[in-house]
Amino acid sequence: MRPTPILALAALLLAVPAPAPAQHDHDHSAEAEHRIPADAKLGTVTFETSCSAAAQTGFRRGLALLHHMMYEQAEEQFAAVAAAEPACAMAHWGVAMTLFHPLWPDRPSPTDFERGAAALERAAAGDLAAHERALVEAAQAFYRDWRTASHGDRLAAFEARLAKAAAAHPDDLDVVALHALSLIATAPAGDRSLAQQQRAGEILRGLHGRQAAHPGAIHYGIHAFDHPPLAHRAVDLAHGYDKIAPEVPHALHMPTHIFVRLGHWQEVIDWNRRSAAAALASPVGDAVSHHYPHAADYLMYAHLQRGEDAAARRLLDELLSHETFQPTFISAYALAAAPARLALERGEWAAAASLPVGLPESIPWDRSPGALAIAHYARGLGGARGGDLALAKSSIAELDRLQASAREQDQGYWVEQIGIQRQVVAAWLALAEERTDEALQAMTRAADLEDAAEKHPVTPGAVLPARELLGDMLLALDRPAEALAAYEASLEHSPRRFNTLARAARAAEAAGNPEGARRHYQELLDVAAGAARPELTRAREVVGS
């Protein structure tokens, strides 16, 4: 079923010919078409295998695609090498490595676990050099006990094996890069020092110094520094990624993780337009690659920060004009988040309250409770702030159900995120019911929880930052000085957001702080001078006075 547009509801490397891989749960069709050109630049990898020269060339191409997290294309490449030369053990390792995604929300299905474990058995039976066997054993550590061990425990075992491999083979750039990736994947949640991410980042910067075109050094380095206090360290990596892989959708998108952290909205727009176009040229079977809605969600976020509402609405219509998407969490998240962002960022509470749930139907929403929750969160917040309190209450019940589903599926991060969303809706429901103290306590708890949780790479940012929403509540209660403090704290996490800047300026004016108001209005004009929103009229009055 084709979804109705929402809100426009009214408004280096030789190619080896690759046969389609066997179908598995995240393929949309048995005949995959992952059309990154065979001669596309992918960067430089130099991993030595025990395979023939022809197989080694194809393997390196697959490994480069793996470092770019173009998992479907990498699997095709590794499968082609394995078909042409079954004795090439590392090709089987490569297939297994494409079936789990250390930094992505999707977990391997039982079918993929079985396929990956079988591929590793074939790899381990081969005649392997020491550095090859080290990588095979690291992958086996992740797949071992997959029926009983938690995802976190298996990632920890993967990292421990890779740590030994990197210590034994410090000159092997790919072994070192994969170890750094595993450090990012296993960084302790809530560690505000970001020590493990910084350690991984420095390893990757060193690797980049040794081989500037290595895709893992750049890509994983951006992930390592994808945090507000660290983002400035990856600006050079971000600006260099397209030079080594100008036709790879994820290479064109990934730099915008850094640009979002710094509030460089035009760069977010420019790079994600290129990523979206490249993704549309690389379908997965008859489905649109999830790299397209992923880029579109970041585009939506950036257009809204620049006050480009008409562009945001056109983007949503374009996104929802496609009928079939790659059925992954990444697709699900973007397809739920983009329409919710447009309604909530604009304060269109009735539109938020009427958002449809679970479209398009081709997405496996039952496996994506964290994505499905976004629609219920938007509806609940729209109800609480727009006067439909029954809807707010029913949305809270749905969020409770989805949180339980995420817990059952061992999706710990999304358990926490759904809990924060539930708390936000409950806070605004309490305010609507004039339970003011309870509302402020709940909203403060939600903001504290969100500040302590790291942003997931799947999203450019919270659909609405909880700390910003706390400022909104305080401003509504005529406590402007406290609201200003909340807004300024939110800007530390999410810089140069249109609404946060506009409301911080308003709160500063109401608190008798003209210098603060002028400063925030000036930054608002820097961010969105060409927009037509009413907040900018006041900004020009203050800054021009």
| DSSP assignment letter at 4 | P
CA distance 355 to 423: 20
The answer to whether the CB of 467 falls within 8 A of the CB of 455 is no
203, two tokens: 């390893």
The answer to whether the CB of 224 falls within 8 A of the CB of 207 is no
Residue 167, pLDDT score: 98
Torsion angle of the four alpha carbons 401, 407, 413, 419, in this order, in degrees rounded to the nearest 10: 30
150, two tokens: 């938690």
- Residue 273's closest CA among 286, 289, 292? 292
473, two tokens: 């509540």
- Residue 175's closest CA among 197, 203, 145? 203
Residue 12, pLDDT score: 29
Residues 6+ apart with CB under 8 A from 365: 332, 358, 371, 372
CA distance 358 to 219: 32
Quote the distance between the C-alpha of residue 276 and its chain's center.
15
CA distance 48 to 322: 42
The whole-model pTM stands at: 0.90
189, two tokens: 């949640």
- DSSP per-residue codes, 416-456: HHHHHHHHHHHHHHHHHTT-HHHHHHHHHHHHHHHHHSPPP
Residue 148, pLDDT score: 92
β partners of residue 506: none
Rounded (5°) CA angle 70-72-74: 65
Other beta carbons within 10 Å of 130? 10
The helix, strand and coil proportions of the chain, stated in percent and rounded to the nearest 5, come to: 65, 0, 35
CA distance 305 to 494: 11
The answer to whether the CB of 494 falls within 8 A of the CB of 510 is no
Residue 295: C-alpha distances to residues 27, 85, 176, 277, 511 (Å): 20, 36, 29, 9, 39
517: buried, middle or exposed (CB in 10 Å: 19+, 13-18, 0-12)? buried
Residue 63, pLDDT score: 98
Quote the distance between the C-alpha of residue 311 and its chain's center.
22
CA distance 268 to 271: 6
* Topology annotation, domain 12-254: 1.25.40
Residue 190, pLDDT score: 77
Other beta carbons within 10 Å of 203? 21
Tokens 């950036």 sit at which residue?
302
Please report, in angstroms and rounded to a whole number, the separation of the first and last CA atoms in the chain: 54
Residue 383: C-alpha distances to residues 34, 386, 414, 463 (Å): 42, 5, 23, 16
Backbone angles phi, psi at 226, to 5 degrees: -80, 65
Buried b (16+ CB within 10 A) or exposed e, 235-263: bebbeebbebbebbbbbbbbbbbbbbbbb
Those residues of the chain that have pLDDT short of 50 are 1-33
Tens digits of residue pLDDT in 332-350: 999 999 999 999 999 999 9
Residue 39: C-alpha distances to residues 66, 244, 245, 268 (Å): 16, 13, 11, 27
The residue extents of the domains of the chain are 12-254, 481-545
CA distance 438 to 480: 19
β partners of residue 288: 325
Tens digits of residue pLDDT in 183-235: 999 999 878 899 999 999 999 999 999 999 999 999 999 999 999 999 999 99
Torsion angle of the four alpha carbons 137, 138, 143, 149, in this order, in degrees rounded to the nearest 10: 120
Quick one: CA dihedral 277, 283, 288, 289, positive or negative? Answer: negative
Runs of H (alpha helix) within 186-290: 195-210, 215-224, 235-244, 249-253, 255-262, 265-280
Tokens 């305010």 sit at which residue?
431
127, two tokens: 């005649």
